[in-house]
Amino acid sequence: MLGYIASRAFRALVTILLVLTFAFFILNATGDPAILILSADAPPEAIEAFREEWGLNAPLWKQYLGYLWNLAHGELGRSMRDGRDAWAVVSERIPVTLAITIPALIIKLVIGISAGIVAALWRDTWVDRLVMAFSVTGYTVPSFVLGLALMLVFAVQLGWLPAAGADSWRHAILPIITLGVAGAAVLARFTRSAMLEVLGQPFIRTGLAKGLVWRAVVIGHAFPNAAIPTLTIAGFMIGSLVAGAVVVESVFAWPGVGRLLVSAVGNRDLMVVQAILLLVTVTMVSANLIVDIVYGFVDPRLRTARGGPARGGT
Amino acid sequence: MTVPLIELKDLTVDFPVGGNWVRALHGVSLTIRRGEALGLVGESGSGKSVTWLAATKLLPAKARIDGEVLLDGKPIQGLTRDQMAGVRGKRVALIFQDPTSSLNPVHRVGTQIAESVRLHRGFDAAAARAEAKRLLDRVHIPSAARRLDDYPHELSGGTNQRVMIAMALAGEPDLLVADEPTTALDVTIQAQILDLLAEMRRETGMALVLISHDLGIVADITDRVAVMYAGRIVEEAPVDALFDDPRHPYTQGLLAALPDVAGPRRRLTAIPGQVPNPAALPPGCAFAPRCPAAISGCVTAIPSLDAVAADRRTACFRAGHATPWEIAA
């Protein structure tokens, strides 16, 4: 088990390094921070001074190695916009993002999983079709379209909720719903197909054959098995708590990590972008690792430590 | 005459297939007396499993079931699905073809057996676990106490089938329906499982229905055999009488296809053709297109299952006529 975690951690480090390297070169190749931050009309001396100050005149590979060197010493660099520590700039946004992504996650889990279960248990009835119709709509409509539509109806037309910003808890409602609906739609589909798959298994018939009522078979025998594939998607959603709201935060002008990422990329504020990418990759990779460990608890077939050959002779 | 344990009367089953109803079972009547062992034999799709899944209401809800099922002389087809749960496991237990996938992969086998014990005998958790261990001993699983905490994937197919049998015994049923219990197992294990079934029947006095595609398997441990073809019983007889003097050409064909270990070496004869599609059955006897003894009457009318002796029934216009298979055998 320890060896397994160690090898997973090593692969995670490689993933993180690859992501940071790609981002470093692509951002440098596609724009000049000096011009983007100071604007193209700035006097050439100012631009030159900026370049000198941030070491942008050094060859790219030197900048890259310098970045890695700092990173290895726990230095994430400073924001070129205001000279503040990049990690400080990013970390102050994390609670703002979590304020909408955590409630949205709860909506996704509660509504998505229960809708999927209901659809599977009443398969091919109007309930199933209704749930699936909502689900298909929910995940085919892009979140910026859904967000704008909700804004149009509830903020502009009805005037019940504010359209954008983050001045009160009421501002959070539309972003939360926008995030929650799309995720619930995905989770409902996954849960439904996981349940249908399990309900078709022979051990469900065994449960009925031994004299259990349907409800007991569903709860005691179908749920624990259907939880296994559902867990994958749920884990992915947990991994995207920090960075899964880029589009929605932009639509609703919600000052979270996602919106910071968009503006930092626009400014080629390299160290801030890298800090966000590092944060996102680390949360994603750790969520996946946790899901894998939880798998072992839920599915005894994956507990390799005890495994070994079949026992019992006949 | 005493009331039979379970009686199926004119059981029919239809499945919806693309907007049409396709009949899988065409009026099956069977009587199981207390403690007797019946073999139910036929090719896949002949309706032998469907018969018992229908009788115990284990078919999908969309299937249409008609006819009567009497348990102790009382009709049970009016029971709701949840009321039927009181019959299943307690009165009629079932085991299935693939033991490993018939057990829940995420629960320990001891837990799954104890679940049945608690359900049918109201034991508390500790007593149910002790009883589960005793049941594993009874089905001859070595070091039963340690196997309780194993998961199905850690056990072999044969051991899992023993677990299934232990689970079935937990409710002390009056009838055990074993649906192809050895088909998915190694040949060497098959005999052990059949022996175990015979032993459990002797010890508990429960009746046994052994469903199989293999006449040879049912011959050893049953008293009576019913042969099914295309959703009908075509012949029913005591096991010795069936082997000595098969009346239906289909039974004769099955016997001719069976290797005889003790007798002289001979070429095995296969029945030509294929089982008809249930959605497009021939108008007359369903076996007529493959039958070497068929005459023109066989393709227009369906023979009924009639008594040809005190304890045997045959559904054939040509019953008793010699066929090429019989001559070859």
* Domain regions of chain A by residue span: 2-91, 94-255
Chain B residue at shortest CA distance from A214: B82
- Which tens digit of pLDDT belongs to each residue from B258-271? 877 666 777 777 88
Query: Are B89 and A224 within 8 A, CB to CB?
Result: no
* Cβ density class B91-121: b for 16+ within 10 Å, e for less: bbbbbbbbbbbbbbbbbbbbbbbbbbbbbbe
- Which tens digit of pLDDT belongs to each residue from A251-275? 888 898 999 999 888 888 888 988 9
The nearest CA of chain A is from the CA of B52 a distance in Å of 11
Phi/psi of residue B178, nearest 5 degrees = -105, 110
Q: Which of residues 238-297 of B touch A (CB under 8 A)?
A: none
Phi/psi of residue A231, nearest 5 degrees = -60, -35
Strand partners, B40: B211, B226
Q: Which amino acid is at B144?
A: A
Q: What is the DSSP letter of B124?
A: -
* pLDDT value for B1: 59
Helix/strand/coil for B7 = strand
Pick from B104, B156, B193, B199 the residue to mutate for testing the A interface (most A CBs within 10 Å).
Answer: B104
Nearest by CB to residue B102, choosing from A203, A214, A300, is A203
* Cβ density class A46-84: b for 16+ within 10 Å, e for less: ebeebbeebebeeeeeebbeebeeebeeeebbbbbbeee
Query: Are B154 and A202 within 8 A, CB to CB?
Result: no
- Which tens digit of pLDDT belongs to each residue from B13-61? 999 988 889 999 999 999 999 999 999 999 888 999 999 999 999 988 8
Number of H helices, E strands in chain A: 16, 0
Q: Determine the CATH number of domain A94-255.
A: 1.10.3720.10
Instruction: Report, as an integer, the average pLDDT of B242-265.
Output: 83
Distance CA B45, CA B210 (A): 16
Nearest by CB to residue B106, choosing from A202, A206, A299, is A299
Question: Is some CB atom of chain A closer than 8 A to the CB atom of B86?
Answer: yes
* Cβ density class B56-75: b for 16+ within 10 Å, e for less: bbbbeeebebebebbbeeee
A67 pLDDT exceeds 60?
A: yes
* pLDDT value for A305: 47
Pick from A122, A206, A213, A219 the residue to mutate for testing the B interface (most B CBs within 10 Å).
Answer: A206
Label residue A306 by pLDDT band (50, 70, 90).
very low
Q: Identify whether the C-beta of residue B179 lies closer than 8 Å to the C-beta of residue B171.
A: no
* pLDDT value for B44: 84
Nearest by CB to residue A212, choosing from B85, B98, B108, is B85
Question: Is some CB atom of chain A closer than 8 A to the CB atom of B189?
Answer: yes
Distance CA B195, CA B200 (A): 9
Q: Residue B209: in which H helix or E strand, if any?
A: strand B207-212
Q: What is the DSSP letter of A313?
A: -
What structural domains does chain B harbor? Answer: 6-328 (3.40.50.300)
Nearest by CB to residue B102, choosing from A202, A228, A314, is A202
* Contacts by residues B287-290 (CB-CB < 8 Å, ≥ 24 positions apart): B287/B229, B287/B230, B287/B234, B287/B248, B287/B249, B287/B250, B290/B253
* Cβ density class B165-174: b for 16+ within 10 Å, e for less: bbbbbbbebb
- Which tens digit of pLDDT belongs to each residue from A134-154? 999 888 888 888 888 888 888
Question: Is some CB atom of chain A closer than 8 A to the CB atom of B209?
Answer: no
Got the DSSP string for B11-75? EEEEEEETTEEEEEEEEEEEEE-TT-EEEEE--TTSSHHHHHHHHTT-S-TTSEEEEEEEETTEE
Tokens 């009639």 found at = B306
B90 contact residues in A (CB cutoff 8 A)? 211
B209 contact residues in A (CB cutoff 8 A)? none
- Which tens digit of pLDDT belongs to each residue from B59-110? 888 899 999 999 998 898 788 878 888 899 999 999 999 999 999 999 999 9
Interface predicted TM-score (ipTM): 0.89
The nearest CA of chain B is from the CA of A111 a distance in Å of 25
Query: Are A210 and B154 within 8 A, CB to CB?
Result: no
* pLDDT value for B8: 94
A312 pLDDT exceeds 60?
A: no
Query: Are A206 and B102 within 8 A, CB to CB?
Result: yes
A313 pLDDT exceeds 50?
A: no
